[in-house]
Amino acid sequence: MAGPITYRLILLALLPVVGVLIYMEGQKYDPALIDFQSAGYQADPMVSFFPDEMAGYVRRGPVRSYTKENLHEYVNGHAEYFISAGFRQLAAGEYSERGTEASGPELVVDIYDMGKSIQALGIVADESGGRSETLGTGATGFRSGQGVSFVKGQYYVRMAAYSKKVPLERVTGQIDSRIGADADPFPEFARLPALGEVVQTRFIREGYRGLDFVNNIIEREYRVEGKTLQVFIFPGSKDEVRRLSEAFMNYFRQSEINYKEIQKKDQRIYEVHDPYEGDWILLPLDDSLSGIFGYYNDKIIDALIGKQIAIK
């Protein structure tokens, strides 16, 4: 009978053999193990957003692409901000006026794919300081000293002009139409009721109306019967909606803010008597949380409830 020492010696002798076998197996290429197609990025769709020429300005060289891995090479110091906001890819193109020999580009177009429209809107909200507007093309964005930024579906477009001659309105229109209608629309906007004249639509990334716990809000301001009101929507998951509803209730209790529970259209709504906001409406449903600040009446409340139920 072989003793334990014999077994140990046999196992020890086998170790180099096992090692060689593992090494040989590791050298075989198995395409199922590494799917380069899924890890890489299909750049073509975004390249098509950049015309060879627009409004007399010709593209200089190929469109450059950046992913999460190398975004810092282009937006040094700001890459983390974009990545944490949902960034997927950046495509950048440079343009100069046809027939000129400018040493540098006169127009730089950056298109960021932020994954979701709401995330792209968040970038515009941040960078416009909350003062985005509806541009001539109908897109939401803002003009800065030397350019235009706007959101189109999940794309955040940032155009910087280095010459006053660049016709930014026309260029905006061309890029906007190139991206086209297929870009992820704002599904959350479908929850906003048609109440009257729309004054503006905003995305508030954090601290809505000074409430620390209320972030990522879409607000649309309307003018109805000569009065101004704001409808807000929180576009979150069921869990997020539940947590936010609870946070509101805690806030009401801690701040001694009274509210009244009302049943309307078989839905429970709250009429909040707020010393700082005046009276307002909070409508927490299973899968959405919305409300009305400023002016409201039964018809307006019904329209908001009706819209939320219809989307459900």
Partner 1 sequence: MKRRDFLKTSVLATAAFATPLSAETKTEKPLVRAYRVLGKTGLKISDISLGTGGLPSASMVLRAIDRGINYMDTAPDYGSAEEYIGEAMKNIKRDKIIIATKFCTPYSYPNHLQLGSKKKDYIKALEDSLSRMKTDYVDFCFVHAIGESNNKNAEKEKKRLLDEEMLSAVDELKKAGKMRFLGVSSHGPDNMEDLLLTAVRSGHFDLIMPAFNFMKAPRLPAVLKEAHDKGIAIVAMKTLAGAKDMKIEGKGEEFEPAALKWTLSHPEISGLVITIKNISHLDLYLSASGQKFSAADQRTLDRYAGRFGKEYCRTGCNQCEPSCPEGVAIASTLRFQMYFKDYGMEKKALLSYARLERKADKCFTCESESCSGACPYGLPVSALLRDAHGELTFTV
Question: Closest approach of Cβ 126 to partner 1, in Å?
Answer: 6
Of 41, 162, 252, 295, which lies in the binding site for partner 1, with binding defined by CB under 8 A?
252
The verdict on 48 binding partner 1 (CB under 8 A) reads: no
**Residue 152 to residue 209: CA distance in whole angstroms:** 26
Minimal CA–CA distance to 234: which of 306, 286, 300?
Answer: 286
The verdict on 107 binding partner 1 (CB under 8 A) reads: no
The verdict on 267 binding partner 1 (CB under 8 A) reads: no
Question: Closest approach of Cβ 262 to partner 1, in Å?
Answer: 9
- When the beta carbons of 97 and 127 are compared against partner 1, the nearer one is 127
Which positions ≥6 away from 148 have C-beta within 8 Å?
A: 135, 141, 142, 159, 168, 171, 172
The verdict on 207 binding partner 1 (CB under 8 A) reads: yes
Helix and strand numbers (H, E) in the chain are 8, 16
**Residue 59 to residue 64: CA distance in whole angstroms:** 12
The DSSP call for residue 209 is: G
Question: Closest approach of Cβ 76 to partner 1, in Å?
Answer: 3
| Residue 241 and residue 234 in contact, taking contact as beta carbons nearer than 8 Å | yes
Question: Closest approach of Cβ 55 to partner 1, in Å?
Answer: 23
The verdict on 61 binding partner 1 (CB under 8 A) reads: no
Exposure of 46 in the CB half-sphere (CA atoms within 13 A): 27
Of 53, 73, 246, 286, which lies in the binding site for partner 1, with binding defined by CB under 8 A?
73
The verdict on 128 binding partner 1 (CB under 8 A) reads: yes
Of 144, 170, 196, 224, which lies in the binding site for partner 1, with binding defined by CB under 8 A?
144
Q: Enumerate residues 175-194 that contact partner 1 by CB under 8 A.
A: none
Question: Closest approach of Cβ 298 to partner 1, in Å?
Answer: 18
**Residue 219 to residue 29: CA distance in whole angstroms:** 53
Of 59, 116, 152, 158, which lies in the binding site for partner 1, with binding defined by CB under 8 A?
158
∠ Cα 201 204 208 (to 5°): 115
Label the pairing between strands 133-134 and 140-144. Answer: antiparallel
Region binding partner 1 by CB under 8 A among candidate stretches 172-180, 187-195, 202-210, 299-307: 202-210
Which positions ≥6 away from 213 have C-beta within 8 Å?
A: 244, 247, 248, 251
The verdict on 273 binding partner 1 (CB under 8 A) reads: yes
- Measured in degrees and rounded to the nearest 5, phi and psi for residue 275 equal -65, -20
Q: Which residue has the tokens 């297929």?
A: 182
Question: Closest approach of Cβ 128 to partner 1, in Å?
Answer: 6
SS3 278: strand
Q: In the chain, what is the straight-line distance between the N-terminal and C-terminal CA atoms, in Å?
A: 75
The verdict on 225 binding partner 1 (CB under 8 A) reads: no
∠ Cα 272 276 278 (to 5°): 45
Region binding partner 1 by CB under 8 A among candidate stretches 18-26, 39-47, 113-121, 207-215: 207-215
The verdict on 116 binding partner 1 (CB under 8 A) reads: no
The two three-digit tokens of residue 235, written as one number: 């576009």
Q: Enumerate residues 76-105 that contact partner 1 by CB under 8 A.
A: 76-78
Question: Closest approach of Cβ 279 to partner 1, in Å?
Answer: 8
Question: Closest approach of Cβ 214 to partner 1, in Å?
Answer: 9
One-letter amino acid for residue 245 of the chain = S
Site residues for partner 1 per CB under 8 A: 73-78, 110, 126-131, 142, 144-146, 158, 204, 207-212, 252-254, 256-261, 271, 273-277
